[in-house]
Structure 1
Amino acid sequence: MADPLSIAASIAGLCGLTIQISQLSYHYFSALKSTSDNQALFIQELSALTSVFLRLRQATQIDGLDDIIGPRQPVISKTVIEDCKKRLEKVKVVLERKARRSMEKEMKETVEMLHRFHAVFASALATDHFNVSVAGLKELRTMTSAKERNELGNWLSPSFTPAPLSTFIEKLCEGTGSHLLNCKEYLAWRDGAEGLLWAYGRPGTGKTPESGRIPLLQRGTMNETLDGFLRHLAVQLLDQDDHVPEDVVNLWKKGKSTNSSLLPDEIISIISSTVNNTSVAYAVLDGLDKCPFLAKLAKLLPKLSKTGLKIFATSRDLSDIRKHFDKSSHVEISATKDDLAHYIDWRLQEESEVDYDLMPQSFKSDLTSAVVNHVDGCFLLARLVMDHITSLTTIKKMRQALESPPVDYKEAYGRTMERIAKQNAGRKTLAVKVMVWICYTKRPLTLEELQQALATEDGEEEIDPENVESARSLLSCCLGLVVLSKADLTLGMVHETAMNFVRATDIVHDVEPNLLISQTCLTYLSVKPMREGFCEKIEDLQSRLQHLPFLNYAAHFFGQHLKATTKPYPRS
């Protein structure tokens, strides 16, 4: 058997290696125009292997058990460890070099390799005497019943489903954003004792996309209440671990017996216990300037950071927020000129209607320089300008567009809306409907949900599959104002300011938004399958939800939209 200290160091090294590969693969796959089944399997197997390494690492670092179990360690041969390390390093090199052909060619083999090593290390973890001894000793600190685990999760979860963050992970421009990940403040926060890092910047400078580049983060949503925020964060952290700490279990049992509510300090203690049960835990709080309970949260942030949870918070640089972070580590986020130049050239290569290779180098240089100087560090404005320029069909038209670019993102939104209005009637109508649904629904809709909603017609008993709009149509008609998340396939506006702009613009003249949505929900709830009555078996309900993708939203939120209408509901 290998030396225990050697095994512990090797496991820690493999754990760090898989985390690095996770970071590299995030950037690699984000840059691809489409993803394959093998790529999805790669991510799945890599995540599973990382989880096993984290558990093995934890097993080799347990304190206070030496007198009970002795020096035993998980039985893993040195040869297996070295072979795994060698193969993982090869994958890392391929990703670092962005060797797309090599990666795609060997993807299936790589997936099989990850699966094989996962089975080997998981087997060692599950059957080893050391692990069994630890499991026996920590019986009170774990929950073996799936039913109990679900009950605890329901007890701790917020009373409402939190709206996901507006973090729409699209195809990212590789090579941008490195200034944040390499700056001394970020590195000190990531690797040192610093528990809180505040990243601030003007609207549209890329705060949310920058936070999305940081892997392995739990995300705290700016919900309606502090209690909901803390509960949601605690649930996310608990979901990452197979074991529930003993004091969390005791708190749950106490709350269940007394039917008492959790206090903020008690939820923080749950977060603390869960974080202490893992090697490291990160959380990102995006958009503090939109937080309705900022003053209360600010008072608790020091306590949260002392739990061992590393917190990355983003917001605009406002005095009401800065006063809470003056003594904390902070860094300004702004698009550098190099980032903007790289982004502009990338957009020309990827999306321009004019062939990139036919553009004179002098023109590309002039265009890049003009846009970089005009947008003054605002990624959002650069994006909106490039949305228009890449849609033009000649170099002359592109030059003309550069002569009078929009002065800010508000003017850019206005110009985009004008171009939407000039489209043919069908595309204009579709664009308006898409934006109304995105801006007025109670939670982000998935692509399939929105497709079903738009295909719903009054008087029809079924959804006609020939009336379902394609994803390409839904996105293209909005001329860049609407984006599709690769992470969860939800649709959203390109930025929060775009949503505010649409809501302030009277784009719907014939019907009030909440009335339109409530009518659609009611019609969808009346389709033929729903007239068959209630589902007697859970399997039947699951089948109905699967075949009627918009049913979940319609059933949950029909009443809320109806209540919010400002016009009388029409009687049929």
Structure 2
Amino acid sequence: MDPLSVPASIIAVLQLSAKVLAHICDVRDAPKERSHCEAELSNLSALLRALRDHVQTGDLSLPWYAAVAELAAPKGPFDQFKQALEGLQNKITDGSQLKKLGETLVWKFKKGEFTSILLRIERLKSLVEIALQMDHYQLSQAIKDDTNFVRTRVSAIQSRVDEIQQEQVNAKHSKMVGRISPTDYPAQQSDIICRRQKGTGQWFLDAPEFTKWLGEPKGTLFCPGIPGAGKTMVAAIVIDHLLKSVQSSSSGVAYVYCNYKAQDEQETSNMLAAMVKQLVQGRPSIAEPVARLHKKHANRGTKPSLKGIFGVLREVVAKYSTVYIVIDALDECRDSDGARSQLLARLKDLQVGQDVRIMATARFIPEIEIEFQTAMKLEIQASDEDVRRYVAGQTHRLPRCIQRDPALQAIVQDKLVEAVDGMFLLARLHTDSLLDKRTVKEVKSTLARLSKGSAALQGAYDEAIQRIDGQLDRDKELAKRVLSWITYARRPLTTVELCCALAVEPGETKLDPENMPDVEDLLSVCAGLIIVDQESAIVRLLHYTTQEYLERIRDTWYSGAPLDIASACLTYLSFDLFKTGSCSSNREFEERLQESRFLNYAA
């Protein structure tokens, strides 16, 4: 740069500094930062005037002047300092808007922003002081260091800006994806897989049929099994395997857990929408079809049709080279309204144009088996090793007489393996039957009576009910109420909803929080027939067969349940809290639902 342009650059910085100083001085009641900034700018201005005088009166041929010229180079220290001052000046307007500066400095001036300006002043002061010492070598090196420092800071700031922008994109994407489907199958997956004993189901992953399905384009694997064989756990193990070893930018994974308690939610469109949700989750780059569908229906206030959702699913699937789809418990998806048949038909349609590989589990039901008559088959049944792993993993729950006796532990495992005969559910029920035994004799006597064969499940449930009936009266009645609520419920209940329902008392006008039972107590009195999903906080019966069993005995075991449940709902809806009438806005309604956690179900 021509040294003659240096004085002009210095003068430009001085003029801008003077403007900023004048405005800052006009701000009243500013904090000490204002005084600090004013003092630093004044000191810098004095140094700049001294440097200007040296440049204007000195010998331009000396190396020192060439070094000073670097201060005024494009994007050099002077330019960078001017940008900092201009950023501050942009917050300052003249006339009636002058007050804005005061507000900014006093109340809104961010500490990091203010510190950055002071740092910029301090660094330029250091450079000018070095220049005034007439050491051109030190000045050149200092300018180089300063430029590198600023470049690094700019890069860091840009990276943070990029991060913030990406966070905003991700947040917008997550919000949109969340509206596609309310069903949270990943939460169910987490709940199921966390109950797996290490190594369980490895036989299935090692099976030739499964290996072939993994590598076969458009392959279909049908996995039937008797009730209680462990089909859902195997499905969860497969899903976990796919998510960890197969899922990538080119291979997608989607899954559905059918549930006998969620029949109303298991419309074909909802299940397909849940698949879309999983395939675009965390992938904004392939979510354009979803955004288009969402915008279309958000503007109209309408709900996407089955055709519309399937069209989006087809587009999203096309973004992948391969998509794996796992459907668990097809027999728990009703077909009275055609939901199951439509789901299978749509999945087969997907396979026509794309490499979609489908795996499904179900009971041995002729209507379902016909749908998969050309598919590969791999029957699911509990292996002896899986049963041993499960029982070994439950040792900490068993009586102390078993925990301290390895030989007795081996006997327990052998007897349970013998009794289970491929039905994993029996392993759990039979294990639970040992929990209240206190002596070795009682344990061995129970093992000798373990039910086997086709009637084993019925016998295991009968014994569980006997254990419930053998409890203290209050515990027995609580267990009956809990099991009745879950059995009769029109949809799955959360722990909060169930505890609220149990706390409602006839004739009361409000819910007494001190009357709400502890969830652990509910689990304790029900003899292992209920479980709680930790991710979703849903209370469930142990198995679909548990529901079937309780439905068979409910008229004799707890015949008054329907009346008690209806009474509890009506009593809750009659609480004084709701006598103010309907809500005046959606927000008020949401707040009411949040405050009254049983209202949504009771109504």
| Alpha-carbon distance in 2 for matches of 1:360, 1:212 | 31
Say whether residues 1:372 and 2:417 are aligned partners. yes
| Alpha-carbon distance in 1 for matches of 2:362, 2:515 | 41
Question: Would you tell me which structure has more helix in proportion to its own residues?
Answer: 2
What's 1:486 paired with? 534
| Alpha-carbon distance in 2 for matches of 1:415, 1:191 | 45
Deviations 1:95-134 (A, max 9, x none): xxxxxxxxxxxxxxxxxxxxxxxxx999869739xx99xx
Say whether residues 1:127 and 2:162 are aligned partners. yes
Partner amino acid, structure 2, of 1:181: L
What's 1:353 paired with? 399
| Alpha-carbon distance in 1 for matches of 2:290, 2:283 | 13
Moved more, 165-174 or 441-450: 165-174
Q: Which of 368, 389, 398 is equivalent to 1:342?
A: 389
What's 2:313 paired with? 271
| Alpha-carbon distance in 2 for matches of 1:227, 1:221 | 15
Q: Which of 267, 288, 292 is equivalent to 2:330?
A: 288
Distance change (3 Å), C-alpha of 1:509 and 1:383: closer
Partner amino acid, structure 2, of 1:274: V
Distance change (3 Å), C-alpha of 1:195 and 1:121: farther
Structure 1 residue runs of 5 or longer lacking an equivalent are: 1-119, 133-142, 556-572
Q: CA deviation at 1:256?
A: 8.3
Q: CA deviation at 1:390?
A: 2.9
The CA RMSD over aligned residues, in Å, is 3.9
What's 1:178 paired with? 202
Q: Answer yes or no: is the 8 Å Cα contact 2:224–2:378 preserved in 1.
A: yes
What's 1:433 paired with? 481
Distance change (3 Å), C-alpha of 1:499 and 1:123: farther
Q: Answer yes or no: is the 8 Å Cα contact 2:533–2:539 preserved in 1.
A: yes
What's 2:284 paired with? 242
Q: CA deviation at 1:436?
A: 0.8
Deviations 1:344-371 (A, max 9, x none): 2222x2211224442252x322222122
What's 1:400 paired with? 445
Partner amino acid, structure 2, of 1:127: D
Say whether residues 1:383 and 2:428 are aligned partners. yes
Normalised TM-score (structure 1)? 0.64
Which of these two proteins has the greater Rg computed from alpha carbons? 2
Q: Which of 529, 551, 557 is equivalent to 2:599?
A: 551
Structure 2 residue runs of 5 or longer lacking an equivalent are: 1-154, 244-252
What's 1:301 paired with? 347
Distance change (3 Å), C-alpha of 1:279 and 1:475: farther
Normalised TM-score (structure 2)? 0.61
Moved more, 539-548 or 460-469: 539-548
What's 1:69 paired with? none
Distance change (3 Å), C-alpha of 1:201 and 1:535: same
Partner amino acid, structure 2, of 1:267: I
Say whether residues 1:203 and 2:227 are aligned partners. yes
| Alpha-carbon distance in 1 for matches of 2:158, 2:525 | 52
Say whether residues 1:477 and 2:477 are aligned partners. no
Distance change (3 Å), C-alpha of 1:410 and 1:366: same
Moved more, 470-479 or 455-464: 455-464
Q: Which of 256, 264, 275 is equivalent to 1:220?
A: 256
Distance change (3 Å), C-alpha of 1:221 and 1:383: closer
Say whether residues 1:456 and 2:504 are aligned partners. yes
Q: CA deviation at 1:469?
A: 0.7
Q: Answer yes or no: is the 8 Å Cα contact 1:168–1:492 preserved in 2.
A: no
Distance change (3 Å), C-alpha of 1:253 and 1:310: same
| Alpha-carbon distance in 2 for matches of 1:276, 1:121 | 37
Q: CA deviation at 1:429?
A: 0.5
What SS does the corresponding residue of 1:350 show, helix, strand or coil?
helix
What's 1:517 paired with? 565
Partner amino acid, structure 2, of 1:220: V
Moved more, 546-555 or 474-483: 546-555
Distance change (3 Å), C-alpha of 1:205 and 1:145: closer
Moved more, 252-261 or 398-407: 252-261
| Alpha-carbon distance in 1 for matches of 2:551, 2:209 | 37
| Alpha-carbon distance in 2 for matches of 1:297, 1:387 | 37
Deviations 1:503-554 (A, max 9, x none): 1113567764443323212222222332344444555444432332112212
What SS does the corresponding residue of 1:506 show, helix, strand or coil?
helix
Q: Answer yes or no: is the 8 Å Cα contact 1:272–1:309 preserved in 2.
A: no
1:23-38 alignment runs, 5 A limit: none
Deviations 1:246-290 (A, max 9, x none): 555556677789999966554322112123346865433111123
What SS does the corresponding residue of 2:493 show, helix, strand or coil?
coil
